[in-house]
Structures are given as C-alpha cells and as structure tokens.
Structure 1
Amino acid sequence: MSREIDEVLQRAADGGRISPEEALALYEQAPFHALGEAADVVRRRRYPDGIVTYLIDRNINYTNVCVTACKFCAFYRAPKHKEGWSHDMAEILRRCAEAVDLGATQVMLQGGHHPDFGVEYYEELFGTVKAEYPGLVIHSIGPSEIGHMAKVSGVSIEDAITRIKTAGLDSIAGAGAEMLPERPRRALAPLKESGERWLEIMEVAHRHGLESTATMMMGTGETNAERIEHLRMIRDVQDRTGGFRAFIPWTYQPENNHLKGRTQATTLEYLRLIAVARLFFDEVAHLQSSWLTTGKPAGQLSLHMGVDDLGSIMLEENVISSAGAKHRSRLTELVELIRTAGRIPAQRNTLYEHLSVHWTPADDPTDDRVRSHVSSIALPILERDRPVEDQLAKN
C-alpha cells in the first residue's frame, strides 16, 4: 500500500473529509482488507454499541403504467399496454392491512409515471392510507414521481411537495436516482429528469421538512469515476440540507429489460463501493446494503465494510424482482445473519429509532410468517414448509 493511500485511509478512518479524487483512488487502489477495516472503524465510532438494524415494510405498487420507459426496468408497461394495471384504493388498503398484521411499520407506495396521475391522485392516496392506518409511516415515491405529478397538474415542485406532505407523506424514498452523472443517466433513462434536477427536487423536499434516503444503481457500464461522481453529487446536497438519512447502493439486475446485459458490478466492486461510501459520506448517518440484489452472504460481509443497516424484510417487492432479483429472506434468517456477523440485531423504524433490540438470542423474533415476498406479482409465492433456496432452484 502506498504512503498516499495509507494517509488517506487513516484520515478518513479518523473522521476527516476526503475529496472525490481521493475516494476514487481508494476505490481503485486501496487493499481490500485495509479499505474495509478503515470503513469499519468509522462504523464503530458512530455505533459503538455494535447494533445493526433492520426494518419490516412492504412495497406496494399502485400502477405499472409508465411513460418514462427506462431501459433497465422490467416492471413498467406503456400506457394502453394490455399488461398495464392500476390498483384501486380498496386493494391498496388491503395490502396495508396485511403489512400491519405482520408487524410492518412502513409502506413504500411506488409506481410508474402514469400519464393521468397528478398531485390530486397522490393527495387522495396518501390521505386515505394515513386516515386508515395513522401509525403506518408512508416512506414513498421519489423526485421523479414528484416532478411528474407536478407536470401533470401544472403546479410548481414546491406546491406539489407541500400538498403531498400535508396529505400524509412522511418521508421520500431515494427512488429514481440510478446513476446521477449525465452520460450514464442519459444512456439508461433518456426520458427521465437529469441527475441535477433529481437532486434539486430532493433539496426542495428537505427544505420543507421531508427527509429522504439516497440510492445508487451499479452495474450498467458506468465508469469508476462516474460512480464516485454520483457520491459527490449527493454529498454536495447533504452539505446544504442534511436531509439524507441513509445511502443505499444496489446492483443492476439484467433480466427482462432492454439492457439485457449481465451486471458489470461484481460482488467485490460492490463491497469496495460500500466501504468507500462509508468513508466519503462523513455527514450521512446510515449506510445500508442490498441483500436483495447481491445476496445474503454479500449482505452479511458488508457488515464488516462499514454497513450499519441490513435493510428490510420486504413483505412485497415487484420492481427489482421483475428484473431477476431472486434473493429472499425470512426475518429469522436476517436476524441470524446480523448475529453471526458479531453484531446485535435491532428492529428500527423509518427514523432509525430502535423499536426492539435483540441483545441475546433469547430476544430474537420467532414469527416465521414474516418473510420477504409474502405477496408478489413478480415471483411465485413461497411454500411455508420448504426452504427458500430449494424453491428458488426449482423456479
């Protein structure tokens, strides 16, 4: 390891800020174990109790009709397509009821950019869900949907945000970030807003008290420098607003979409990016890995690369699963992954507050009903008495 790389790693591990150029050097040159160790030093300083959190939620898709036609998406259908659909409010509430029964504290209501869905639709959607389930946090949509609904209704971004927050939206998802730099974003989603516009909408939301997460999709041919530029763009907004609670990178899934390619992001690349993100995002509190796209073993290994949150038992997930993400988990499995990594599992809420800390194995949850993809249009329903891996192999 060169003296320059060692100096940057030490400074970052000590809590100092590193530049995008230094982050790229670490991503490309730092020895894997030294990089992971430095990131884990940051995690331990932030969370000395050794707790790693998880969430129980449900992703409820209200429509798959979309005018944006992103090349990596296997979920959407164009307007008037025979396979297009939109759920009515009764069906959405039914799915919320199932989620609450299984212990979910959050729902993520997401769908395509439907040509007819303006701000009024989302006011009714969020208001109805919040009235029926006031304790259920609505962590939903993203800047792309906000921009689209404002355009449909002919109102400003600020007006749209104010109205949907008043209706019941509690928090904004990092959806639609994919890759923020111009070249890869234009290649992936030429009809979607620019990365700069995505961040501008986030910034307006943060100023109006709607915090959010930030995401990144790796593996569609972007360069290492573009990956780091994505991080830089997010950090610049975070410096101004402080509104991003967490950063969540995930890997492109190659099935049933127009890109039709294998992911270019290997597990090693993903883990290196995770570690660099922990060192680079000195003002972002939480780092979440994506076991849904990388698999549970990689998810567990990420806990040694600076990660403090293993994400969600998603009772339903259709978008990424439609593109080939076949990893599933039971709550008991996810807790075991955390515990056998030498960490203390804890269920959290959207604000990352601990709802239940499982200090010893005797505290671990035992409800075997709580598992990912309890309901999914993208994947077959699991049989309760057969191992998940066996069923995936058959399917």
Structure 2
Amino acid sequence: MSIDAILERAVSGERISMEDAVKLYESDEVEKMGEAANKIMEKWHPEPITTFVIGRNVNYTNFCDTYCRFCAFYRAPGSKEGYVLSDDTIFQKIQETIDVGGTEILMQGGTNPDLPLSYYTELLQNIKKRFPDIWMHSFSPAEIWKIVEVSGLSLEEVLRELKEAGLDSMPGGGAEILTEETRLRVSRLKITWEQWIDAMKMAKKVGMHGSATMVIGFGESFEERALHLQRIRDAQDETECFTAFISWLFQPENTGMYKTKKLTPRDYLKNVAISRIFLDNIPNFQSSWVTMGPEIGKLSLQYGCNDFGSTMIEENVVSAAGTTHKVNTNKILRLIREAGKIPAQRTTAYDIIRVFDEAESAEKDFVMQN
C-alpha cells in the first residue's frame, strides 16, 4: 500500500491519524518518510541550524524498587552494589560541567524508597546556592511518584516544593511505551502511563516544562507505538508541556530481556521520521547518539531531528547495558557540519547561546571514561 497520500497530507499541514501511523510503521519506505519528516522539521526550523546542549547526566543513586526487566543499572534496596552519591561528589561533577561551558544537569536515579522529599529539596537548594546559573533538568516521573509515595503529599505539592527548591524542568525518562500491555510485561511495578502523563502535565501547571520520550524494541505492536504517539500529542494539545521529543531503541544486552531481538538503526530512523510526522505540535526533536552512535545520530538530522541532544559528559544507565558512545563537543561540531548544518549551543529551554562558524571549535573538552 502506498504511503504517498499520508505523507502528502502531513507535509501540507494536515494531522495524520493513528491508523495512518500504523500504515507508516508497516511500510519499508523509510527514506521517503525521512524526506517528509525533514520537510516538516524545516517548517519549524527554516534556518539550517542544529543545536546541542553541554550537559552531564548525574546518576545520584542506583537503588531502585521498580525492578524493570530491561534495566541493567539498578540495584535492589539494601544491595552492597547500591549507592547514593555524596553531596560533595555531586557538587564536584557540576563544577566540572561548568568548567567546560556546561549549562545543564540531568540528574536521574532509581526509585529509591529510602530518600525522603527533604533529601531532594535540600540537595537542590544547596546546588543552587553554589551554582545559581546551572539548569536542573532532573527527576523523571517515576522518581517524582516515588517521592509522592514516600512523602504522603500530592503530586502537585511535591512538584511545587521541588520547583521552589531549584528544579527547573523535568526529563521524560520512564515513558518507554505508554500502554499498559507493554508496561506490565517489562516493568510491572513501574508507574502507569496515566501517571507518567499526569506528572508531565502537572510539571507544566506548576511552571516547568518537560520532554517526551519513547523507547521501541520491547516487542510492542505497531498499534501500541501509534497509541504512544497519540497520548503524547493529546497531552501536548492540552497543556504544551513538552519542548522536545526523544526516541531510542531498547538495548537488551546485560538485561533480563537479553533474548529480545535487537532492532536496527533503520528501525530507529523510521521511528524518528514517523514521530516527527505524527507529533505536529512539538517543535524540537533530539537525536539519540548515546544509544545509536554518532554516525546514525548524524543521519537522524535528515529524518526530522533539529537537535543533537546533550554532550552527555557522563552517562551510566545505557552504558550499563553495554552501549556506550562518547562524543566530545568538538566532535559534535564536526558531525553537525558533516550533515550540512550549522552547529549552535543552546540552553535547556532551546535559547541559542552561541552559533559556531565554520572555523570555530569549542575551547575546552571533557571526556569522562566510565
């Protein structure tokens, strides 16, 4: 079945349906989808600029009582291999980030049942006292709901206290696939898809924004992928809570789902393109070079992505599953230029800090070897 009519409608500005999305997933005309996605991206971003943010992922604890089958990072509460980073260690990581021009800290961990709300608020307050200009893009919906459970407060009360303490925005980790069928199969104890959406909506209500994510490759159906996109689009229609969308592939190595067939870079590029075509109300799409590698990350800039994501000075969750790609700032500049784009450093809120000309490189680089 030809997908031309669907793509033509989308490029002309017409909203496509879930049924249309399923037909796109069933098609193997990936390059054609990429071309349409790129045209839609250029309507949002007519200038040939690809942005990136200099940031660090600080995994402050790996204790987690959610026990996702697909996670190789977590350790059960009480495990001798578990940890909670000291405040001084976190401060040192933030200082190192600032020293290389970094502006964002993506602080995420497990759902640790032994950390009270005061742990988070005091940590945020101390970070902001020492580093008032760092942007705290931290704590995914699953972590937020664990704080709700431990504190006995409402979702709104917890998010308001965190924002007042210094939280600036909320990452969209833990979305995986927003259907109960897949969630019950791969992460039975994790928050529901409704809770994930509610957390993102509430973050916007209290004055923050968030990002939307999607992970494919759990054995979910095309219909489930389309439903995931529909739920993201509906939430954005209602609240405009998302500034960006990021998708990547499940990495089965070293996890409890190691026998799962690993999807290919072509599957990733198809998903990026379909997502850009379907999500007509989210302006920014990030490349996922951490899981896919720099070259596929570069190629995704022709499939609807306008952003290269974070330099990710440090990352431990994906690398625990055996997938580690290190890219310093100068390499990001080169990859963006090789894609025919102009690189620009941005803030978490997508305000441009600096546009790099053809001859410029970043003055400093910091590559963390885990």
TMscore range, shorter length? over 0.9
How many pairs were matched up? 370
Structure 1 gap segments, 5+ residues each: 377-395
Deviation per residue, 1:75-96 (Å, 9 max, x gap): 1111111111111111111111
Aligned to 1:232: 230
Match of residue 48 from structure 2: 50
**Residues 342-351 or 17-26, more deviating:** 17-26
Q: 2:30 aligns with which of 19, 29, 32?
A: 32
Matches within 5 A, 1:193-232: 193-232=191-230
d(CA) in 2 for partners of 1:365, 1:94: 22
Cα distance change, pair 299–324 in 1 and its aligned pair in 2 (3 A): same
2:171 counterpart letter in structure 1: A
| Preserved contact between residue 265 and residue 292 of structure 2 (Cα < 8 Å) | yes
Secondary structure in 2 aligned to 1:246? strand
8 A contact 2:50–2:342 mirrored in 1: yes
> Partner residue of 1:370?
366
Greater than 6 Å deviation, 4+ residue runs: none
Alignment of 1:82-231 (within 5 A): 82-231=80-229
Task: Indicate which of 278, 281, 287 corresponds to 1:289.
Answer: 287
Deviations 1:314-368 (A, max 9, x none): 111101110111222121111111101111111111011111111x32133253x
Q: Secondary structure at the match of 1:215?
A: strand
Aligned twin of 2:63: 65
User: How many angstroms apart in 2 are the aligned matches of 1:342 and 1:98?
Assistant: 31
Post-superposition shift, 1:55? 1.1
**TM-score, with structure 2 as normaliser:** 0.97
Q: Helix, strand or coil for the counterpart of 1:217?
A: strand
Q: Distance in 2 between matches of 1:292 and 1:66?
A: 23
Residue in structure 1 matched with residue 12 of structure 2 by the alignment: 14
Deviation at 1:375, TM superposition (A): 5.1
8 Å CA contact retained: 1:180, 1:195: yes
SS in 2 for 1:303: helix
Alignment of 1:261-280 (within 5 A): 261-280=259-278
Within 2, Cα distance between the matches of 1:302 and 1:62? 30
Q: Is the 1:142–1:174 contact (alpha carbons within 8 Å) kept by the matching residues of 2?
A: yes
Q: Deviation per CA, 1:61-117, whole angstroms, max 9, x where unpaired?
A: 111111111111111111111111111111111111111111110001111111111
SS at match of 1:42: helix
Q: Percent identity?
A: 43
Deviation at 1:264, TM superposition (A): 3.4
Q: Which residue of 2 aligns with 1:333?
A: 331
Conserved 8 A contact 2:252-2:262: no
- Contact residue 66 and residue 113 of structure 1 kept, 8 A: yes
Separation of aligned partners in 2, 1:225 and 1:355: 40
Given that 1:253 and 1:262 are in contact with CA atoms closer than 8 Å, whether structure 2 keeps it comes out as: no
Q: Distance in 2 between matches of 1:325 and 1:263?
A: 15
Q: Please say if residues 217 and 250 of structure 2, whose CA atoms lie closer than 8 Å, have aligned partners that are also in contact.
A: yes
CA distance 1:263–1:134, change in 2 (3 Å) = farther
Question: How far, CA to CA, are the matches of 2:39 and 2:119 in structure 1?
Answer: 46
Amino acid at match of 2:366: V
Alignment RMSD, CA only? 1.3
DSSP 3-state at the match of 2:176: coil
Separation in 1 of the partners of 2:126 and 2:284? 31
- Structure-2 residue corresponding to 1:323: 321
Is the CA contact (8 Å cut-off) linking 1:218 and 1:251 kept in structure 2? yes
| Higher RCO (CA-CA < 8 Å; seq separation 6+) | 2
Which stretches in structure 2 are left out of the alignment for 5+ residues?
none
| Counterpart residue type for residue 326 of structure 1 | T
Structure 1 residue 126, shift from structure 2 partner: 1.1
Shift of 1:262: 4.7
Which residue number corresponds to residue 314 of structure 1? 312
Q: What's 2:351 paired with?
A: 353
